Amino acid sequence: MMKEIMAIIRGQKVNATKDALAEAGFPAFCGSKVLGRGKKHIAELEASGLLTADELPRDARGESFTESVRLISKRLITLMVEDEEVSHALETIIQVNQSGKPGDGKIFVLPISESWRVRDRALLKGGLSDQGSGSGEGAGAV
């Protein structure tokens, strides 16, 4: 069985994430720009003392203040992996992106019930490892 890993991360972490995934054995993935926001409310941030001198901090903390009304630019990385590779891929993504501050991102893991190759309409019964004849396409390649 396969899993789809969807990771929403900061835009400035894309290159480091891409390099780390390739080094960890996951060179193929899809990426796109997305907009979104977290659940944290401004009252929680005021209570934590982050608002000083009526000015927002110019970092991830300040970014959090505007989350309730503004969508923030992020990056979505999607990759397909075999079940036994999920924890390794997750650890790789988390290691690069975790700062301990709001806005580090979210990761979702979803089951993949079938995988089809568009080129020849082949159902890939062997999961991602069923590469077909000399295409050079890797797991997750579109």
CA distance 43 to 136: 52
For residue 94, give Cα distances in angstroms to 8, 45, 65: 11, 24, 24
One pLDDT digit (tens) per residue for the chain, 142 residues = 899 999 999 999 999 999 999 999 999 999 999 988 777 655 555 545 555 545 556 666 566 555 556 678 899 999 999 999 999 999 999 999 999 988 899 999 999 998 889 999 999 875 665 554 443 444 444 4
Contact 139, 132 (CB under 8 A): no
CATH number of the domain to which 68 belongs: 3.30.70.120
Helix (H, G, I), strand (E, B) or coil at 117: strand
Considering the domain boundaries, does residue 28 fall inside one? yes
Considering the domain boundaries, does residue 136 fall inside one? no
Considering the domain boundaries, does residue 135 fall inside one? no
Instruction: Work out how many domains the chain is built from and give that number.
Output: 1
For residue 4, give Cα distances in angstroms to 23, 59, 68, 131: 19, 31, 29, 18
Query: What's the pLDDT score for residue 37?
Result: 75
Residues in the chain: 142
Alpha helices in 49-135 (DSSP H): 60-65, 86-97
Considering the domain boundaries, does residue 79 fall inside one? yes
Considering the domain boundaries, does residue 140 fall inside one? no
Contact 67, 40 (CB under 8 A): yes
For residue 13, give Cα distances in angstroms to 8, 19, 40: 10, 10, 22
Note down the domain range covering 51.
2-129
Query: What's the pLDDT score for residue 133?
Result: 43
CA distance 38 to 30: 23
Order of strands, sheet of 72-82, starting from the edge strand that comes earlier in the sequence: 30-36, 72-82, 2-9, 106-112
